[in-house]
Amino acid sequence: MKLKILAPLALLLTLVASRAADRPNIVFIFSDDHAWQAISAYGSNRNETPHIDRLADEGMRFDRCLVPNSICGPSRATVLTGTYNHINGFIDNSGCRFDGSQTTFPKLLQGAGYQTAIIGKWHLGSEPTGFDHWQVLPGQGQYYNPKMILNGENMREMGYVTDIITERSLDWLKKRDPERPFLLMCQHKAPHRNWSPNVTKLNHDGGKPYPEPPTLFDDYSGRGSGEKNQDMSLAKTMHEGDLKLKTTSAIPKSVRDEWNAYYGPRNEAFLKANLKGKDLIRWKYQRYMHDYLACISSVDDGIGEILDYLKESGLEENTIVVYASDQGFYLGEHGWFDKRWIFEESLRTPFLVRWPSVIKPASVSKEIVSNLDFAPTLLEAAGVSVPERVQGHSLMPLFKGQTPDEWRKSFYYHYYEFPGVHSVPRHYGVATDRYKLVHLYKPDDYWELFDLEKDPHEMKNVFDDPEYASARRTLEKELARLRDELKVPEKDPKGTRK
Minimum distance, C-beta of residue 273 to Ca ion, in the bound complex (Å): 33
Closer residue to Ca ion in complex, CB, 337/418:
337
Closer residue to Ca ion in complex, CB, 182/351:
351
Q: Taking the mean position of all CA atoms in its chain, how far away is CA 5?
A: 52
Find, among 236, 140, 226, the residue nearest to 423 by Cα: 226
Closer residue to Ca ion in complex, CB, 33/227:
33
Minimum distance, C-beta of residue 295 to Ca ion, in the bound complex (Å): 13
CA atoms of 197 and 190, how far apart (whole Å):
9
Q: Is the Cβ–Cβ distance between 399 and 353 less than 8 Å?
A: yes
Closer residue to Ca ion in complex, CB, 24/350:
350
Closer residue to Ca ion in complex, CB, 72/331:
72
Minimum distance, C-beta of residue 93 to Ca ion, in the bound complex (Å): 9
Minimum distance, C-beta of residue 73 to Ca ion, in the bound complex (Å): 8
**What long-range pairs does 71-76 form, CB within 8 A, spacing at least 24?**
71/326, 71/327, 71/339, 71/340, 71/415, 71/417, 72/32, 72/33, 72/123, 72/326, 72/327, 73/98, 73/123, 73/124, 73/125, 74/416, 75/326, 75/327, 75/349, 75/371, 76/122, 76/123, 76/124, 76/326
Closer residue to Ca ion in complex, CB, 34/408:
34
Closer residue to Ca ion in complex, CB, 33/448:
33
CA atoms of 26 and 307, how far apart (whole Å):
12
E strand or H helix at 321: strand 319-325
3-state secondary structure of 448: strand
CA atoms of 416 and 77, how far apart (whole Å):
15
Q: Please, is 241 exposed, middle or buried when counting C-beta atoms within 10 Å of its C-beta (0-12, 13-18, 19+)?
A: middle
DSSP symbol at 38: G
Those residues with Cβ within 8 angstroms of residue 36's Cβ, 6 or more apart along the chain or in another chain: 42, 325, 328, 348, 349, 350
Residues that bind Ca ion (CB under 5 A): 32-33, 72, 326
Partners of 438 in beta bridges: 429, 448
Q: Is the Cβ–Cβ distance between 413 and 68 less than 8 Å?
A: yes
Minimum distance, C-beta of residue 176 to Ca ion, in the bound complex (Å): 28
Minimum distance, C-beta of residue 7 to Ca ion, in the bound complex (Å): 55
| Virtual torsion, Cα 213, 214, 219, 221, nearest 10 deg | -130
3-state secondary structure of 462: coil
Closer residue to Ca ion in complex, CB, 72/87:
72
Closer residue to Ca ion in complex, CB, 32/92:
32
CA atoms of 30 and 28, how far apart (whole Å):
6
Q: DSSP per residue over 121-155, as a string?
A: E--SSSPP-S-SEEEEESTT--SBS-EEEETTEEE
Closer residue to Ca ion in complex, CB, 33/218:
33
Minimum distance, C-beta of residue 117 to Ca ion, in the bound complex (Å): 21
Minimum distance, C-beta of residue 121 to Ca ion, in the bound complex (Å): 9
Closer residue to Ca ion in complex, CB, 326/333:
326
Minimum distance, C-beta of residue 81 to Ca ion, in the bound complex (Å): 17
Partners of 184 in beta bridges: 27, 117
Closer residue to Ca ion in complex, CB, 72/137:
72
CA atoms of 482 and 490, how far apart (whole Å):
13
Q: Cβ-closest residue to Ca ion? A: 72
Minimum distance, C-beta of residue 350 to Ca ion, in the bound complex (Å): 12
Q: Is the Cβ–Cβ distance between 384 and 112 less than 8 Å?
A: yes
Minimum distance, C-beta of residue 62 to Ca ion, in the bound complex (Å): 18
Find, among 177, 43, 47, the residue nearest to 113 by Cα: 177
CA atoms of 348 and 448, how far apart (whole Å):
19
Those residues with Cβ within 8 angstroms of residue 429's Cβ, 6 or more apart along the chain or in another chain: 342, 412, 413, 436, 437, 438, 439, 479
Minimum distance, C-beta of residue 78 to Ca ion, in the bound complex (Å): 12
Closer residue to Ca ion in complex, CB, 32/373:
32
Q: Is the Cβ–Cβ distance between 240 and 246 less than 8 Å?
A: yes
Minimum distance, C-beta of residue 64 to Ca ion, in the bound complex (Å): 19
